[in-house]
Protein backbone atom coordinates (compact mmCIF):
# COMPACT_ATOMS: atom_id res chain seq x y z
CA UNK A 1 0.00 0.00 0.00
CA UNK A 2 1.32 3.46 -0.95
CA UNK A 3 0.35 6.56 0.98
CA UNK A 4 0.89 9.72 -1.01
CA UNK A 5 2.14 12.88 0.73
CA UNK A 6 -0.27 15.74 1.23
CA UNK A 7 2.16 18.23 -0.35
CA UNK A 8 4.47 16.51 -2.78
CA UNK A 9 6.99 18.70 -4.58
CA UNK A 10 8.49 17.75 -7.97
CA UNK A 11 12.09 16.69 -8.44
CA UNK A 12 12.55 14.01 -5.77
CA UNK A 13 12.61 13.87 -1.97
CA UNK A 14 15.62 16.10 -1.24
CA UNK A 15 14.35 19.09 -3.28
CA UNK A 16 10.90 18.47 -1.86
CA UNK A 17 12.11 18.56 1.74
CA UNK A 18 13.99 21.78 1.07
CA UNK A 19 11.03 23.40 -0.67
CA UNK A 20 8.41 22.50 1.95
CA UNK A 21 8.72 22.07 5.70
CA UNK A 22 5.83 19.59 5.65
CA UNK A 23 6.60 17.50 2.57
CA UNK A 24 4.65 14.52 3.90
CA UNK A 25 2.04 16.60 5.69
CA UNK A 26 1.74 17.32 9.40
CA UNK A 27 -0.64 14.50 10.37
CA UNK A 28 0.68 11.04 11.23
CA UNK A 29 -0.01 8.26 8.72
CA UNK A 30 -3.41 6.55 8.77
CA UNK A 31 -2.01 3.15 9.82
CA UNK A 32 -0.08 4.74 12.68
CA UNK A 33 -3.16 6.66 13.83
CA UNK A 34 -5.24 3.47 13.76
CA UNK A 35 -2.61 1.58 15.75
CA UNK A 36 -2.44 4.34 18.36
CA UNK A 37 -6.24 4.40 18.67
CA UNK A 38 -6.20 0.67 19.52
CA UNK A 39 -3.02 0.42 21.59
CA UNK A 40 -2.48 3.94 22.89
CA UNK A 41 -2.57 2.83 26.53
CA UNK A 42 0.61 0.82 25.99
CA UNK A 43 2.64 3.70 24.57
CA UNK A 44 4.22 4.93 27.84
CA UNK A 45 5.92 1.54 28.29
CA UNK A 46 7.29 1.34 24.73
CA UNK A 47 10.69 2.22 23.32
CA UNK A 48 10.27 2.90 19.59
CA UNK A 49 12.91 3.07 16.87
CA UNK A 50 11.41 4.88 13.88
CA UNK A 51 13.61 3.53 11.09
CA UNK A 52 11.96 5.71 8.46
CA UNK A 53 11.21 8.85 10.43
CA UNK A 54 11.28 11.33 7.57
CA UNK A 55 10.16 14.64 9.06
CA UNK A 56 9.08 12.91 12.24
CA UNK A 57 5.27 13.17 12.07
CA UNK A 58 4.75 9.52 13.08
CA UNK A 59 7.50 9.69 15.71
CA UNK A 60 5.89 12.83 17.12
CA UNK A 61 2.50 11.13 17.55
CA UNK A 62 4.05 8.11 19.28
CA UNK A 63 6.13 10.34 21.55
CA UNK A 64 3.07 12.46 22.40
CA UNK A 65 1.42 9.30 23.72
CA UNK A 66 4.36 8.62 26.04
CA UNK A 67 6.60 6.31 23.98
CA UNK A 68 10.36 6.85 24.02
CA UNK A 69 11.16 7.41 20.33
CA UNK A 70 14.52 7.43 18.58
CA UNK A 71 14.37 8.99 15.12
CA UNK A 72 17.89 8.73 13.73
CA UNK A 73 16.53 9.44 10.24
CA UNK A 74 16.01 13.05 11.27
CA UNK A 75 19.77 13.29 11.87
CA UNK A 76 20.43 11.75 8.45
CA UNK A 77 18.04 14.21 6.80
CA UNK A 78 19.78 17.17 8.38
CA UNK A 79 23.03 15.76 6.99
CA UNK A 80 21.48 15.88 3.48
CA UNK A 81 21.28 12.11 3.02
CA UNK A 82 18.23 11.29 0.92
CA UNK A 83 18.43 7.63 1.95
CA UNK A 84 19.37 7.11 5.63
CA UNK A 85 19.98 3.46 4.81
CA UNK A 86 23.20 4.52 3.08
CA UNK A 87 24.50 5.76 6.43
CA UNK A 88 23.39 2.61 8.24
CA UNK A 89 25.49 0.52 5.86
CA UNK A 90 28.53 2.34 7.19
CA UNK A 91 27.75 2.49 10.90
CA UNK A 92 25.38 1.97 13.80
CA UNK A 93 22.78 4.49 14.95
CA UNK A 94 25.12 5.64 17.74
CA UNK A 95 27.92 6.17 15.21
CA UNK A 96 25.55 8.12 12.94
CA UNK A 97 24.72 10.40 15.85
CA UNK A 98 28.42 10.85 16.59
CA UNK A 99 29.07 11.74 12.94
CA UNK A 100 26.19 14.22 13.11
CA UNK A 101 27.79 15.95 16.10
CA UNK A 102 31.14 16.17 14.34
CA UNK A 103 29.69 17.61 11.14
CA UNK A 104 27.25 20.00 12.82
CA UNK A 105 29.59 21.05 15.60
CA UNK A 106 27.31 19.60 18.26
CA UNK A 107 23.92 18.00 18.77
CA UNK A 108 21.85 21.19 19.15
CA UNK A 109 20.12 21.06 15.72
CA UNK A 110 18.88 17.54 16.43
CA UNK A 111 17.97 18.25 20.05
CA UNK A 112 16.01 21.33 18.99
CA UNK A 113 13.99 19.19 16.61
CA UNK A 114 13.30 16.65 19.36
CA UNK A 115 12.22 19.41 21.74
CA UNK A 116 9.72 20.68 19.17
CA UNK A 117 8.00 17.31 19.06
CA UNK A 118 8.30 15.78 22.54
CA UNK A 119 5.60 17.74 24.32
CA UNK A 120 2.59 15.54 25.07
CA UNK A 121 -0.39 17.29 26.67
CA UNK A 122 -0.80 17.15 30.44
CA UNK A 123 -3.94 15.03 30.16
CA UNK A 124 -2.02 12.29 28.31
CA UNK A 125 0.59 12.08 31.07
CA UNK A 126 -1.94 12.37 33.87
CA UNK A 127 -4.00 9.48 32.48
CA UNK A 128 -1.03 7.22 31.67
CA UNK A 129 -1.48 4.00 33.72
CA UNK A 130 2.24 3.52 34.32
CA UNK A 131 2.93 7.13 35.28
CA UNK A 132 -0.12 7.17 37.56
CA UNK A 133 1.05 3.98 39.28
CA UNK A 134 4.55 5.42 39.64
CA UNK A 135 3.09 8.48 41.36
CA UNK A 136 1.26 6.15 43.76
CA UNK A 137 4.48 4.68 45.17
CA UNK A 138 4.43 6.78 48.33
CA UNK A 139 7.41 4.96 49.85
CA UNK A 140 9.56 5.30 46.73
CA UNK A 141 11.48 8.57 46.61
CA UNK A 142 14.08 7.69 44.00
CA UNK A 143 13.54 7.07 40.27
CA UNK A 144 16.29 6.53 37.71
CA UNK A 145 15.63 6.97 34.00
CA UNK A 146 17.77 6.82 30.86
CA UNK A 147 15.24 8.89 28.90
CA UNK A 148 16.12 12.50 28.12
CA UNK A 149 12.61 13.98 28.11
CA UNK A 150 10.65 15.16 31.14
CA UNK A 151 7.65 12.80 31.01
CA UNK A 152 8.32 11.18 34.40
CA UNK A 153 8.89 14.37 36.36
CA UNK A 154 5.97 16.12 34.67
CA UNK A 155 3.64 13.21 35.41
CA UNK A 156 4.71 13.12 39.06
CA UNK A 157 4.17 16.86 39.44
CA UNK A 158 0.75 16.57 37.77
CA UNK A 159 -0.11 14.08 40.52
CA UNK A 160 0.90 16.58 43.19
CA UNK A 161 4.38 15.25 43.94
CA UNK A 162 7.37 17.42 44.87
CA UNK A 163 10.09 16.50 42.36
CA UNK A 164 13.81 17.27 42.14
CA UNK A 165 15.64 16.44 38.90
CA UNK A 166 19.31 15.42 38.95
CA UNK A 167 21.38 15.17 35.78
CA UNK A 168 24.77 16.53 36.94
CA UNK A 169 26.79 16.90 40.13
CA UNK A 170 25.69 20.51 40.48
CA UNK A 171 22.15 19.25 41.16
CA UNK A 172 23.15 17.13 44.17
CA UNK A 173 23.35 19.90 46.81
CA UNK A 174 20.09 21.37 45.47
CA UNK A 175 18.43 18.04 46.17
CA UNK A 176 19.83 18.04 49.70
CA UNK A 177 18.47 21.52 50.35
CA UNK A 178 15.07 20.55 48.97
CA UNK A 179 14.96 17.62 51.37
CA UNK A 180 15.43 19.81 54.44
CA UNK A 181 11.76 20.84 54.42
CA UNK A 182 9.96 17.99 52.70
CA UNK A 183 11.09 14.72 51.22
CA UNK A 184 10.94 15.08 47.42
CA UNK A 185 11.00 12.39 44.77
CA UNK A 186 14.42 12.49 43.16
CA UNK A 187 14.37 11.76 39.41
CA UNK A 188 17.90 10.92 38.33
CA UNK A 189 18.42 11.43 34.58
CA UNK A 190 21.18 8.85 34.26
CA UNK A 191 21.90 9.54 30.58
CA UNK A 192 21.25 13.26 30.73
CA UNK A 193 18.46 15.76 30.30
CA UNK A 194 17.12 17.59 27.26
CA UNK A 195 17.14 20.74 29.39
CA UNK A 196 20.86 20.25 30.16
CA UNK A 197 22.20 19.35 26.74
CA UNK A 198 25.79 18.95 27.84
CA UNK A 199 24.75 16.01 30.01
CA UNK A 200 23.12 13.94 27.25
CA UNK A 201 24.64 10.53 26.43
CA UNK A 202 23.92 10.26 22.71
CA UNK A 203 26.86 8.98 20.70
CA UNK A 204 29.03 5.88 20.69
CA UNK A 205 31.89 7.79 22.33
CA UNK A 206 29.54 8.96 25.09
CA UNK A 207 28.53 5.38 25.89
CA UNK A 208 32.13 4.15 25.76
CA UNK A 209 33.08 6.83 28.28
CA UNK A 210 30.25 5.74 30.56
CA UNK A 211 31.46 2.12 30.39
CA UNK A 212 34.44 3.28 32.46
CA UNK A 213 31.96 3.89 35.32
CA UNK A 214 33.80 7.03 36.44
CA UNK A 215 31.09 9.59 35.81
CA UNK A 216 29.51 11.38 38.76
CA UNK A 217 26.18 9.75 37.94
CA UNK A 218 27.85 6.33 38.17
CA UNK A 219 29.14 7.17 41.65
CA UNK A 220 25.67 8.37 42.60
CA UNK A 221 24.13 5.08 41.39
CA UNK A 222 26.71 3.08 43.32
CA UNK A 223 25.79 4.85 46.55
CA UNK A 224 22.05 4.65 45.88
CA UNK A 225 22.24 0.87 45.49
CA UNK A 226 23.39 0.46 49.09
CA UNK A 227 20.56 -0.78 51.29
CA UNK A 228 18.01 -0.70 48.47
CA UNK A 229 16.29 -3.05 46.06
CA UNK A 230 16.07 -2.13 42.36
CA UNK A 231 13.19 -2.68 39.93
CA UNK A 232 13.88 -2.23 36.20
CA UNK A 233 10.84 -1.28 34.11
CA UNK A 234 10.86 -0.90 30.33
CA UNK A 235 14.30 -2.39 29.69
CA UNK A 236 15.62 -5.54 28.06
CA UNK A 237 18.81 -7.11 26.71
CA UNK A 238 17.73 -5.95 23.27
CA UNK A 239 18.83 -2.45 24.24
CA UNK A 240 22.66 -2.51 24.24
CA UNK A 241 22.79 1.05 25.55
CA UNK A 242 21.54 -0.03 28.99
CA UNK A 243 22.91 -3.57 29.17
CA UNK A 244 26.07 -2.22 30.79
CA UNK A 245 23.89 -0.97 33.64
CA UNK A 246 22.78 -4.56 34.32
CA UNK A 247 26.43 -5.58 34.55
CA UNK A 248 27.14 -2.59 36.77
CA UNK A 249 24.38 -3.59 39.20
CA UNK A 250 25.69 -7.15 39.21
CA UNK A 251 29.22 -5.99 40.08
CA UNK A 252 27.99 -3.87 42.96
CA UNK A 253 25.67 -6.50 44.43
CA UNK A 254 28.29 -9.22 44.07
CA UNK A 255 30.49 -7.32 46.51
CA UNK A 256 27.75 -6.80 49.08
CA UNK A 257 26.56 -9.28 51.70
CA UNK A 258 23.25 -10.95 50.95
CA UNK A 259 20.19 -8.89 51.74
CA UNK A 260 17.87 -10.19 54.44
CA UNK A 261 15.13 -9.95 51.82
CA UNK A 262 16.94 -12.15 49.28
CA UNK A 263 17.47 -10.80 45.78
CA UNK A 264 18.23 -7.12 45.39
CA UNK A 265 17.42 -6.48 41.72
CA UNK A 266 14.32 -7.32 39.66
CA UNK A 267 13.11 -6.65 36.13
CA UNK A 268 9.60 -6.66 34.66
CA UNK A 269 10.00 -8.68 31.47
CA UNK A 270 7.26 -9.26 28.82
CA UNK A 271 6.68 -12.99 28.20
CA UNK A 272 10.17 -14.01 29.35
CA UNK A 273 11.69 -17.21 28.03
CA UNK A 274 14.49 -19.27 29.55
CA UNK A 275 16.83 -17.03 27.52
CA UNK A 276 15.94 -13.88 29.46
CA UNK A 277 15.61 -15.70 32.78
CA UNK A 278 19.05 -17.30 32.58
CA UNK A 279 20.81 -14.17 31.37
CA UNK A 280 19.27 -11.94 34.02
CA UNK A 281 19.72 -14.56 36.74
CA UNK A 282 23.44 -14.72 35.91
CA UNK A 283 23.53 -10.98 36.69
CA UNK A 284 21.70 -11.39 40.02
CA UNK A 285 18.50 -9.92 38.56
CA UNK A 286 15.24 -11.82 39.09
CA UNK A 287 12.61 -11.74 36.35
CA UNK A 288 9.02 -10.72 37.07
CA UNK A 289 6.92 -11.90 34.09
CA UNK A 290 4.31 -9.62 32.55
CA UNK A 291 2.20 -10.06 29.40
CA UNK A 292 3.61 -8.60 26.19
CA UNK A 293 0.09 -7.88 24.87
CA UNK A 294 -0.76 -5.90 28.02
CA UNK A 295 2.65 -4.57 29.03
CA UNK A 296 1.44 -1.17 30.17
CA UNK A 297 -1.50 -2.62 32.12
CA UNK A 298 0.60 -5.30 33.83
CA UNK A 299 3.41 -2.86 34.64
CA UNK A 300 0.93 -0.52 36.29
CA UNK A 301 -0.57 -3.45 38.24
CA UNK A 302 2.89 -4.49 39.40
CA UNK A 303 3.62 -1.00 40.67
CA UNK A 304 0.24 -0.91 42.43
CA UNK A 305 1.07 -4.18 44.24
CA UNK A 306 4.20 -2.56 45.63
CA UNK A 307 2.00 -0.16 47.59
CA UNK A 308 0.09 -2.93 49.41
Q: Give whole-number Cα distances, 175 to 147, 166, 285, in Å.
A: 20, 8, 29
- Where does the pLDDT of residue 154 fall: very low under 50, low under 70, confident under 90, or very high at 90 and above? very high
**Three-class SS state of 18:** helix
Answer yes or no: are the C-beta atoms of 200 and 194 closer than 8 Å. Answer: yes
pLDDT tens profile 107-153: 778 777 766 666 778 888 888 899 999 999 998 999 999 888 888 99
pLDDT tens profile 221-270: 888 888 888 999 988 776 666 677 888 887 777 766 655 555 688 999 98
Nearest Cα neighbor of 93 from 203, 17, 210 is 203
Q: Is the pLDDT of residue 65 over 90?
A: no
Distance CA 134, CA 259 (A): 24
pTM of the model: 0.69
| Segment holding 269, helix H or strand E | strand 265-270
Distance CA 94, CA 115 (A): 19
- Each domain of the chain, given as residue ranges in start order, spans 23-117, 122-305
Please work out, in degrees rounded to the nearest 5, the angle formed at the alpha carbon of residue 231 by the alpha carbons of 228 and 234.
155
Could you tell me the end-to-end alpha-carbon distance of the chain, in angstroms, rounded to an integer?
Answer: 49
Amino acid sequence: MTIEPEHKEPGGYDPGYRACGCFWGKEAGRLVREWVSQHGRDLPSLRVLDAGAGEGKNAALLAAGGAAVTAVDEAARQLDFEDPGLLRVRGTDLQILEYFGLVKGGMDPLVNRILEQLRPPDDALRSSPVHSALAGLDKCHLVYTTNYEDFIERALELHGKHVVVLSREHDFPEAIKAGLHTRPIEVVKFHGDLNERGTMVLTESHYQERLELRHEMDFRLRSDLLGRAVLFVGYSFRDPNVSYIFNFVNRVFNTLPDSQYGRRAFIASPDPSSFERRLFRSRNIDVIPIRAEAESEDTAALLHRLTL
